[in-house]
Structure 1
Amino acid sequence: MEETRTVGSLFERACRLNGERAFLLEDGLRLTGREATRARASAAAALSAKAVGPGDTVAFVCGPSVAHTVSFFAAQHLGAVCCCLHVKESDQRMAGTLSAVGPRLIVCDADQAERLRALLAQTNIAAPVLVAGELLGSAVGSKQIQAASRRDADPAVILLSSGTTGAPKQVLHTQRTVLATAAMAAPVYGAEGPDDGVVIPMAPSFAAWLHTVLPFLAIGAKLYFEKAFDAARYADIMDREDLTVAAMVPTLWRAALPALSARTPRRLKVAMFSGEPGTPDLVAALKQLAPRLRSVYLSSEGGCACGIVADEDLLGRPGMAGAAGCAVEGGALRVVDAVSSDMTPLPPGTIGEVAIRGPSLSPGYVGQEDLTAEAFRAGWWRTGDLGFVDESGVLHLKGRLDNRINSGGIKIYAEEVEAALLSLAEVRAVAVVGMPDERWGERIEAHVVPADPATTAAQIADAVARAEVLPKAMRPKAIHILDALPTGPTGKLYRKALREPRAATPSGHSAARPEKKGAA
C-alpha cells in the first residue's frame, strides 16, 4: 500500500483509487475521482490567492457537504490547520469562538456568509469569508498549487470541545494523530476498501465527522453527505447507493429502525453505534438488520486509534449490550483513581476514571497548558468518564465525573448552559442537570431562581429563545422555578437533590414551584 505522508495526500490517493467512479456524493452532486481532483485544485488555488499557507488556521462554518469536504482538504493541501465551527451557534458564541480560534480565513455555506461578515464587522477579526460551493470551480485552469511539506508533529486539525466556562477547548491534532485515525477503517468500522460506503449525517463541527470521513476516505470508499436526517430518506440512500456501513448514535438509530427494517439496504454489512452505551433492545434490533455490529467509544482527544470497540459477539452475550468493549490494536485503556493524579491501573471491577492512549491521541489543548497538564499524564488522557474493566479486560462505563450531559450522543456541559442562562436579566441563579430520557439518553433540565419571583417557567423559556444565547440542542427541555437552589453542608450547590423526579407539564416546564430549601 502506498505510504500516505500528509493528511492532504489522503484525499489525493482517494481520488486516484476512484478515477471515473463517483465517490463524493450528496443530493444533486456526484464527484468522480478525477472531478474531485480538479475541484480540490480549484479550491486550493482560491485559498492560496488569499495568502493561506502552512500553519494558518482556516475556520469552516459548514454543514456536511461535498463542497465543505473538498475545501477542507484543499486547506490541508496548503498545510493549513482546519477548525470547524457549529453552524447553529448563537451570534454571541460564534463571535467568541472565532476570536479564540483567530482564523486567517473563513469558509462557510452560502446561507452563513452574510451573517459571518456582519459578525466580523463588529469584532476585531480581519478574515476574508469565502463560500465553500464557490471554491470548487473558482479557479479552473489556474496553476496547480504544490502541496505543502508537513512533518508528523505539525498541527493539522483543531477540534472544538465544550468547556466548563463557556469557552471551547481547542483539541489539537497533528499530521501524525490524524493519519493514525485515518488508518482505522477496518478495526473501528469493519470497512476495507472502495466497495464500502457510509452516509455522513453529522456536522463537521463534531469530532464524529472527522472520525468517520478520514477512515473511509483513506480506503477510497463512498461518502454520501446528508445535511438533514430523515429516516426514510436515509434508508433510501443506503439502498440506492449500495452503502455498506450505517453509523449513528442510538437516538438516530431508534428513529431510523422502522424505515431500515421495512427497506433493509441490500449491501448493509455493519451497523455501528457510538456516543452512548447500547441497550438490549437496540442490540437485538441491529442484529436483525446487519450481520455485523460495532459499538465504538471515541473522543475528540483520543481519535480512532485510541478507540474502544465491542463487536457482535461481545454485545450479544447476556448482560453485555451496554459494554463499551476493548481497546483497538495499538491502543490501550486503564481505569485509574478518579480523585488523584496517580495513573496506576485499578484492579478489575473497581470503578474509577477511564484513561486511554494510542497513536491518535491529541498532544493537548491549544493555549491551555494547565488543562493539558491536568488531563494528559504520562502519555495517557484522562477522559472524565467513570467505569470499570472486568476480568476479561472489557470496559463498562458508569457515568461522568463532571457535569456533562449526554443528550442524543452530544456531550453538553451543565456549566456552559448555566453561564448562558445567567446572562439573562430574568435569571438570578440557575443549576442545570441531566435527567434520564428514553429518547435522548439524557435531557437538559434547568432549575432557575428568577430575578422576579412572579416569573414563570414559560417566561424563562421564551427569554432563552428570544436571546438566542444557546443553540436549540443546548436549550433546557424542562425549566423548574425554585425559591433557592439546594446546598450541602459546605454551602456548595447540591446537584443530587435536583435530580429527584418532579411532575411536569406537557410543555416541559415545571408544573409547580417547590418550597424554598437551603439544603438537601
Structure 2
Amino acid sequence: MYTTIGKLFDQTVRKYPDKEALYYVQKNVRYTYREWDRQVNKAANALKDAGVAKGDRVSTYLFNTEELATVFFACAKIGAVFNPINFRLAANELKFILEDADPKVILFEKALAPHVSEIQQYFSGMSFWYVDDEAPDYAESYHEAVAGASGDRPEADEVTEDDLYAIMYTSGTTGRPKGVMHRHRDMVEQSLIIIAGMNLTEEDRGLVTAPMFHCAELHCAFLPRVHSGAVNIITHHFEPVKTLELIEQEKISLFFSAPTMWNMMLQEDLEQYDLTSLRLGLYGAAPMAPALVNAIHDNFKVKLIQAYGMTEMGPAVTFLKENEQIRKAGSAGKAILNHEIRVVRAGEDGRSEPDDEVAPGETGEIIVQGPCMMHGYFNREEATNKVIYKGWYYSGDIGYFDEEGYLWIADRVDDMIISGGENIYPREVEDVLFDHEGVLDVAVIGVPDEKWGEKVIALIVKKDPALTEEKLEEFCKNSDRLAGYKRPRQYIFTEQLPRNASGKIQKFMLRKQLQEANTAH
C-alpha cells in the first residue's frame, strides 16, 4: 500500500518524537521530530491562511535552509505542489519558471533578493515570503506568517498517492528547463529503494551539502533519511573545509556529493580531520572518472555507492554498490529494485522500438522503465510524448552493457562527436585525461571542422601550473586506451568549467563560449 510524503513524515514523528531530526548549521537550530512537526504544521497552516489550496504551487528560491526543509513537508501535508528553484539561476531564468509554474507563494532569502527584486513587478498575484530579517517592501516575513499560525495538524483536502507532489525543473544542460511532474507515490517508492540500497537506519547522521532543490540530494539523501528516522544536518551551501569539519564535529555517517565536490575535498589536507564516523559516500549526478573513485577510496577510507539517473526518473535508476567500486570503476552499475534498463539501437528517424536491443558491448540509447517515472512535463505534452514511448523513458544517454550486465554511460546523444565519420564519446577521452596528475578538471567537446566535420577539443583546469599542451598531447599519444582519431586536436586551459547545480558540465555553454570567441576574432 502506497502512502504520501505527508503521511511518511507523520509516521516518522510518531515513531521517533523525541529523537533529533534536524540541525540547521547557519542558524544553530536543532529540532526533535516532535518539534519539527510543529514547525511543519505551522508552515502548512500559514500557507493555507495565505490561500494556498490542494494543487496550488509553492516555489522556493533558497539555498539549503531549515525553511526549505520545513516547507517541503508542509506542502505535502496540504497537497500543495512543491516547486524548488535552482538558486543559481539569473533573474530572467527565474522569471521564466515562475511564469511557467504560476505559484501562489514563493519563499526567498537575502542572498537572492536582488534577482527577485528585478522580476517581482511582473507577478502581482503572487505572495513573496522572505525568510531573513527586514523583508523588502514587496514581500512579507515568512517567520511572522508562521509565528501567527496554528501548530496543530492542518485540516486539508485528502491527499492521495496519485496526487502531484512536486514540479522540479530540469537542470538545463541543453537549454530551457522543463517542469518534471512527480506524484507522491513516485517519491515514496524512490525513498524505499534508497533506504534498502544504502541500509539506512534511524542511527544514521546525514549531511546535506548538495543543493536541496535538486532531486539527487532531496530524493536520494534528505527524504530517505527522514523516512528512516535518521538525522539531517543541513548546511547552507557546500564548502570543502566546512564539510570536512562537520563530518568530524557531527559524527556524520553518510552523505551525498557530486564528483566535483568530492574532488574539491580531495584537494584539502584530509589528515587534519577525523573522518572515521563515515561509513558511506553516495555520488552521482555526473560520471566519476575511475582515477577519482580510487583517490576517494585511498584518502577517505569510505565505501562508495554510485547512483545514475535523471530528474524524470526520480532520479536514481542504477546503483554501483561498494563491493564493485574498484573492479567496475566508471560503470553506472545495475538497475535498482523494480526498474528495468535497456540499451536500444538508434532508429533511422530518431526513436527506436523498446525491443530493438543491442548486443553487450554495443552502444545505443539507454531507456528506462520503473515506478518512479515522472507523470510528464508540466504544460509540455509534446515534449512528454517525445521522451516517453510505450511505457519507457528515452533518456538521451548513450551507453552499453558489458558481458556481466553492468551499464556503462558513454555520453549524451547530443554530446557525441562525429569526426571523419567516426563516433567519439567525450567521456572516454575525459577519463584518460583525468588520469594525468596535472589535471584537476576536464571537459571534451566537438566543434565544427571543415575537413573532418567535427574536431575534438579538450578544456582543462590545471592542478599543476606547469602543465602544457605538449605534455597532454604526449600523454594521450602514449595511452593504450585512446585511438589516434579520438585524441584532442586542441587543448584550452581555463580557470573553471560551467556546471549546473548537480555538478554536470554544461557543454552547450562551452560550445557557445568558443563560438563567441571565434566570432570575436
Q: Same fold (TM over 0.5)?
A: yes
Q: 1:25 to 1:514 in 2, by over 3 A?
A: closer
Amino acid at match of 2:231: K
SS in 2 for 1:60: strand
CA displacement at 1:488 relative to structure 2: 8.3
Amino acid at match of 2:23: L
Q: 1:443 to 1:47 in 2, by over 3 A?
A: farther
The corresponding residue for 1:130 is 129
Please give the alpha-carbon distance, in whole angstroms, between the structure 1 residues aligned to 2:378 and 2:4: 21
Please give the alpha-carbon distance, in whole angstroms, between the structure 1 residues aligned to 2:120 and 2:445: 31
Question: Does residue 40 of structure 2 align to residue 40 of structure 1?
Answer: yes
CA displacement at 1:379 relative to structure 2: 1.7
* C-alpha distance after superposition, 1:473-508 (max 9, x if no partner): xxxxxxxxxxxx65689xxxx554666544657668
The corresponding residue for 2:8 is 10
2:187–2:372: 8 Å Cα contact kept in structure 1? yes
CA displacement at 1:242 relative to structure 2: 2.1
SS in 1 for 2:337: coil
Amino acid at match of 2:250: E
1:356–1:383: 8 Å Cα contact kept in structure 2? yes
Q: 1:281 to 1:111 in 2, by over 3 A?
A: closer
Amino acid at match of 1:356: V
The corresponding residue for 1:481 is none
CA displacement at 1:342 relative to structure 2: 1.2
Amino acid at match of 2:166: V
The corresponding residue for 1:341 is 352
Q: 1:298 to 1:264 in 2, by over 3 A?
A: farther
Amino acid at match of 1:442: A
Q: 2:325 aligns with which of 315, 329, 333?
A: 315
Question: Does residue 362 of structure 2 align to residue 364 of structure 1?
Answer: no
The corresponding residue for 1:396 is 408
2:42–2:152: 8 Å Cα contact kept in structure 1? no
Please give the alpha-carbon distance, in whole angstroms, between the structure 2 residues aligned to 1:251 and 1:45: 39
CA displacement at 1:278 relative to structure 2: 3.2
Q: 1:154 aligns with which of 150, 157, 163?
A: 163
* C-alpha distance after superposition, 1:292-319 (max 9, x if no partner): 3211102101125x521111222222xx
The corresponding residue for 1:173 is 182
1:349–1:389: 8 Å Cα contact kept in structure 2? yes
SS in 1 for 2:55: coil
The corresponding residue for 2:443 is 442
The corresponding residue for 2:218 is 210
Pairwise CA RMSD? 3.2
* C-alpha distance after superposition, 1:185-226 (max 9, x if no partner): 3344x1421111221112233221322212111101111111
SS in 2 for 1:359: coil
Q: 1:4 to 1:503 in 2, by over 3 A?
A: closer
Q: 2:304 aligns with which of 264, 277, 293?
A: 293
The corresponding residue for 1:328 is 336
Question: Does residue 64 of structure 2 align to residue 64 of structure 1?
Answer: yes
Question: Does residue 111 of structure 2 align to residue 99 of structure 1?
Answer: no
Please give the alpha-carbon distance, in whole angstroms, between the structure 2 residues aligned to 1:66 and 1:163: 26
Q: Percent identity?
A: 24
SS in 1 for 2:297: helix
Task: Identify which range, 344-353 or 142-151, moves more after superposition.
Answer: 142-151
1:239–1:267: 8 Å Cα contact kept in structure 2? yes
Question: Does residue 193 of structure 2 align to residue 195 of structure 1?
Answer: no
1:71–1:135: 8 Å Cα contact kept in structure 2? no
The corresponding residue for 1:74 is 74
Q: 1:436 to 1:220 in 2, by over 3 A?
A: same
Q: 1:105 to 1:322 in 2, by over 3 A?
A: same
CA displacement at 1:514 relative to structure 2: 7.0
Amino acid at match of 1:256: M
Question: Does residue 51 of structure 2 align to residue 51 of structure 1?
Answer: yes
Question: Does residue 228 of structure 2 align to residue 230 of structure 1?
Answer: no
SS in 1 for 2:414: coil
- Correspondence 1:327-476 to 2 at 5 A: 327-339=335-347, 340-344=351-355, 345-403=357-415, 438-442=439-443
SS in 2 for 1:228: coil
Task: Identify which range, 335-344 or 13-22, moves more after superposition.
Answer: 13-22
Q: 1:443 to 1:20 in 2, by over 3 A?
A: farther
SS in 2 for 1:193: coil
SS in 1 for 2:147: coil
1:68–1:132: 8 Å Cα contact kept in structure 2? no
| Structure 2 portions without partners, runs of 5+ | 133-140, 418-431, 459-487, 497-512
The corresponding residue for 2:119 is 119
| Structure 1 portions without partners, runs of 5+ | 406-434, 448-484
Q: 1:54 to 1:140 in 2, by over 3 A?
A: closer
Q: 1:487 to 1:278 in 2, by over 3 A?
A: same
CA displacement at 1:161 relative to structure 2: 0.7
Please give the alpha-carbon distance, in whole angstroms, between the structure 2 residues aligned to 1:243 and 1:165: 35
Amino acid at match of 1:77: K
Task: Identify which range, 239-248 or 61-70, moves more after superposition.
Answer: 239-248
Q: 1:282 to 1:516 in 2, by over 3 A?
A: closer
Please give the alpha-carbon distance, in whole angstroms, between the structure 2 residues aligned to 1:515 and 1:113: 35
* C-alpha distance after superposition, 1:8-61 (max 9, x if no partner): 122223333332232211211111112101111111111011111111111111
CA displacement at 1:148 relative to structure 2: 3.7
Amino acid at match of 1:71: V
SS in 2 for 1:324: coil
Q: 1:165 to 1:316 in 2, by over 3 A?
A: closer
Please give the alpha-carbon distance, in whole angstroms, between the structure 1 residues aligned to 2:49 and 2:519: 64
CA displacement at 1:160 relative to structure 2: 0.5
Q: 2:313 aligns with which of 302, 308, 311?
A: 302
Q: TM-score scaled by structure 1?
A: 0.76
The corresponding residue for 2:481 is none
Q: 1:19 to 1:384 in 2, by over 3 A?
A: same
Please give the alpha-carbon distance, in whole angstroms, between the structure 1 residues aligned to 2:416 and 2:80: 32
SS in 2 for 1:183: helix
1:85–1:160: 8 Å Cα contact kept in structure 2? yes
1:113–1:130: 8 Å Cα contact kept in structure 2? no
Please give the alpha-carbon distance, in whole angstroms, between the structure 1 residues aligned to 2:284 and 2:59: 26
2:279–2:302: 8 Å Cα contact kept in structure 1? yes
The corresponding residue for 2:470 is none
* C-alpha distance after superposition, 1:75-109 (max 9, x if no partner): 11110111111223111111112111111211222
Please give the alpha-carbon distance, in whole angstroms, between the structure 2 residues aligned to 1:156 and 1:24: 22
CA displacement at 1:115 relative to structure 2: 4.4
1:117–1:129: 8 Å Cα contact kept in structure 2? no
SS in 2 for 1:254: helix
